[in-house]
A and B are shown apart, each in its own frame.
Chain A
Amino acid sequence: MAATAAKTKKEKKPFNLVKWAKSRQGQQLIIGVAFMIIPLLLLFTFTYLPFGEMIKFSFYKMKYSTPVDKRVFVGLKNYIDVFRRDDCFSALKLSLYYVVGALIQLVIALYLATILSFKVKGGNFFKGLMFFPFLINGIAVGFIFKFFYTRGYVFDTVLQWCGFNIDNLPYWLKDQSVNNWSLVATSVWRYFGQNMVLFIGAIMSVDADLYEAAELDGANKWEQFKHIILPSIKTIVTLNVILSITGSLSAFEQPYVITSGANGTGTYFVIMNEIAHTSQKVGLASAMAVVLLLIIFACTILQKLFFKYIFRDAESMDESYAAKRARMKAEKARMKEEKRRIKAQKKGAAV
């Protein structure tokens, strides 16, 4: 079709150009190009161009200011350094703290979401309180927690109210045995409300009849959670678990703002930022970025595979689900019937 359009255009050029522009193909082409040029240009300039440069730079020893001809090609040395240098590799291990934190955060969020999905007095108020930290910018969060954890300040005071002696309390941001946990806690504080809102959204999309039916069947809250809520939000929970792993690898804001990576709190990105912008070892920083990207891609591919498997699983779940629902409905009807019968009997007896 497009070919014929082009042909006719060639044959009677001056007359048909306008007509062509008004034809469907012509319009599609013009609109398509006009609508796509800006986003594609932006995508190229700020994503793919830097991406290509990053791969190229990772093979060079260079600074930002080094002119192109002075850059030294070093082959794979930067990559080897990423794994050899203590600061880079131990930083990668730090992300395990954040993985644990993220999992705790998911559990808290799921628990609170379950509570808030049912009718609770002041539910909206609590939801708002817990969600609000998500809307605070990273630097403000940093200041709030620097203040919060300072010796003898908020956290210590509250613990003293609970009966702790201040002499037994560690320095939350300096003591290497706790400072990473302190930072992880700020990240949990910031994001658990957002996760909770996500889960509430997912739980709300479950048919409310199901809960009613389950309650009539005498299921308690835990059983309801296990058999109704969890299966129906399995997808979003799994997705969040995987996202939290990639997110943990790129943990950056809390250590960057609160401790600037001092005292063994420098996560991978904090170190990378320092290497790139303070020591100006752009090659090494690029290699670090590429290594991280590879890890993230591996996680993403795993996620895709996992979901393929889960999806099949979920579908079969859905079937049994529908069956369960039908059964519950039938049971509900039966119970009503029975009640009516009992009532009628009682009536009869009274008469």
Chain B
Amino acid sequence: MSSQAVTSNKKRRKNYSAGHIIWLIVEYASLIFFGICAVLPIVSCVITAFKTNEEYANTNVMTLPQSWLNFDNFIKAFQTADMGRAFLNSLLVMVIVLFVSVIVGTQMAFVLNRFQFPGNALIRNLFLFASLLPGVAMQVTVYQIMTNLHLVNSLYGYIIMSCGTDVISIYIFIQFMENIPLSLDESAIIDGASYWTIFWKIMLPLLKPAIVTSCILKGVGVYNEYYAANLYLQKKELHTIAISLYTFVGPMGSQYNLICAGVIISLLPALIVFICCQKQIYSGITSGAVKG
């Protein structure tokens, strides 16, 4: 009796599967197609990076290399482009920029969100307006200012500029703070806390998710930034990882086995970070965009 119900249920599911199966096939076919599109350029680079010069010259690019243990290109690329140095520079830039923009950004957001004063709206609008200005266009005149301030060809000049051109994170912080109840501040004040303490002891710890988000967005941006880096860090010993690859333009322009090795090295850190904090990166991208 109840088995009857089960069979009828099964039947229903089967009917419904006919269209379902086609949809499933379409689904997986498109996933596989776009997945291949996404990795093919990278995979071809990996294949080429393991080839010796003769192999590279004599075989088709998609032929697999004879040995997957041929790391010569990687070593040579690492040395030619001085990538060790470049990694250190990138790390330094990233650590300082992230630190400064988190501290400065949260402080700014704290003042704008918690204090009422004439000019509050004006300052918010100034930041909003600034976020509309496209970076490359601004560099036409920022370059002049950087020259006048003697900040060209100096890693610290570049760092200061990178801190200054960040405005988006303030919005993430403000948005997040709006959800922290004011009564928390009030009760802390009644307990005798100063605003200074409120900021460091209450706000900053509560802002942790927003800080992670902004660090991810900003971190990706800083690690990959190359236009300004290329403009202001011309000396080879100042190169960040993004522009160290430029070493391969010119004399080694067609030695793609070497270039590919360099490219792979430069994206390894991104890959490792991505694998480790996939979730945070996705949520960072999502919540960073919601602000509109």
A10 to B243, CA, bound (A): 58
Residues of B with C-beta under 8 A to A158? 40, 62
- Mask of A141-166 contacts with B, CB within 8 angstroms, 1/0: 00111011010111001100000000
Residue in A50, A115, A201, A286 whose CB lies within 8 Å of B145 = A50
Residues of B with C-beta under 8 A to A143? 245, 248, 259-260, 262-263
Residue in A28, A38, A200 whose CB lies within 8 Å of B104 = A38
Residues of B with C-beta under 8 A to A133? 38, 42
Query: Is the Cβ of A47 less than 8 Å from the Cβ of B165?
Result: yes
Q: How far is the CB of B21 from chain A (nearest CB, A)?
A: 13
Query: Is the Cβ of A57 less than 8 Å from the Cβ of B141?
Result: yes
Known contacts A43-B130, A236-B289; is A132 also within 8 Å of B271 by CB? Answer: yes
Residues of A with C-beta under 8 A to B108? 35-36, 39
Query: Is the Cβ of B140 less than 8 Å from the Cβ of A282?
Result: yes
Q: How far is the CB of A117 from chain B (nearest CB, A)?
A: 12
Query: Is the Cβ of A350 less than 8 Å from the Cβ of B126?
Result: no
Cβ of A324 under 8 Å from chain B: no
Interface residues of B in 1-43 (CB under 8 A from A): 1, 4-5, 19, 23, 27-28, 30-31, 34-35, 37-42
Q: How far is the CB of B124 from chain A (nearest CB, A)?
A: 12
A50 to B134, CA, bound (A): 12
A153 to B57, CA, bound (A): 12
A165 to B225, CA, bound (A): 39
Cβ of A31 under 8 Å from chain B: yes
Query: Is the Cβ of B137 less than 8 Å from the Cβ of A272?
Result: yes
Interface majority SS (helix, strand, loop, mixed), chain B? helix
Q: How far is the CB of A52 from chain B (nearest CB, A)?
A: 9
Residue in B130, B134, B161, B286 whose CB lies within 8 Å of A197 = B286
Residues of B with C-beta under 8 A to A51? 133, 138, 141
- Mask of B129-154 contacts with A, CB within 8 angstroms, 1/0: 01011101111111111010000000
Residue in A136, A193, A250 whose CB lies within 8 Å of B270 = A136
Residues of B with C-beta under 8 A to A330? none
* Chain A residue, CB-CB nearest to B284: A197
- Mask of A40-71 contacts with B, CB within 8 angstroms, 1/0: 10110111111101100100000010000000
A189 to B117, CA, bound (A): 46
Known contacts A45-B164, A158-B40, A296-B132; is A147 also within 8 Å of B260 by CB? Answer: yes
Cβ of A252 under 8 Å from chain B: yes
Residues of A with C-beta under 8 A to B176? none
Residue in B37, B105, B111, B136 whose CB lies within 8 Å of A31 = B111
**Which of the candidate stretches A77-85, A122-130, A173-181 sits at the interface with the other chain?**
A122-130
Query: Is the Cβ of A136 less than 8 Å from the Cβ of B267?
Result: yes
Query: Is the Cβ of B248 less than 8 Å from the Cβ of A154?
Result: no
Query: Is the Cβ of B23 less than 8 Å from the Cβ of A221?
Result: yes
Cβ of B170 under 8 Å from chain A: yes
Query: Is the Cβ of A32 less than 8 Å from the Cβ of B115?
Result: yes
Interface residues of A in 102-122 (CB under 8 A from B): 108, 111-112, 115-116, 120, 122
Q: How far is the CB of B55 from chain A (nearest CB, A)?
A: 14
Cβ of A168 under 8 Å from chain B: no
A60 to B231, CA, bound (A): 23
A186 to B219, CA, bound (A): 23
Residues of B with C-beta under 8 A to A269? 134, 136-137
Interface residues of B in 65-122 (CB under 8 A from A): 104-105, 107-108, 110-111, 115, 117
- Interface residues of A toward B: which range? 35 or more
Query: Is the Cβ of A198 less than 8 Å from the Cβ of B274?
Result: no
Query: Is the Cβ of A139 less than 8 Å from the Cβ of B145?
Result: no
Residues of A with C-beta under 8 A to B134? 250, 269, 292-293, 296
Cβ of B53 under 8 Å from chain A: no
Known contacts A115-B27, A154-B44, A250-B137; is A135 also within 8 Å of B259 by CB? Answer: no
**Most B CB atoms within 10 A — which of A139, A150, A269?**
A139
Residues of B with C-beta under 8 A to A157? 60-62
**Pairs of residues from A and B, 9 with the lowest C-beta to C-beta distance, nearest first:** A201-B286, A42-B164, A46-B164, A137-B224, A35-B107, A50-B141, A289-B137, A350-B1, A154-B44
Contacts A64-B144, A115-B30, A192-B34 known; list 14 others, CB within 8 Å. A50-B138, A50-B140, A53-B141, A53-B145, A130-B38, A140-B263, A201-B285, A239-B292, A269-B136, A282-B140, A288-B137, A289-B140, A350-B1, A350-B4
Interface residues of B (CB under 8 A from A): 1, 4-5, 19, 23, 27-28, 30-31, 34-35, 37-42, 44-45, 48, 60-62, 104-105, 107-108, 110-111, 115, 117, 123, 126-127, 130, 132-134, 136-145, 147, 160-161, 163-165, 167, 170, 189, 194-196, 199, 220, 223-227, 231, 241-243, 245-246, 248, 256, 259-260, 262-263, 266-267, 270-271, 274, 278, 282-283, 285-287, 289-290, 292
16 chain-A/chain-B pairs, Cβ below 8 angstroms: A46-B165, A54-B138, A54-B141, A57-B140, A111-B30, A131-B282, A132-B38, A140-B267, A144-B42, A153-B61, A194-B285, A197-B286, A198-B289, A201-B282, A282-B144, A343-B5
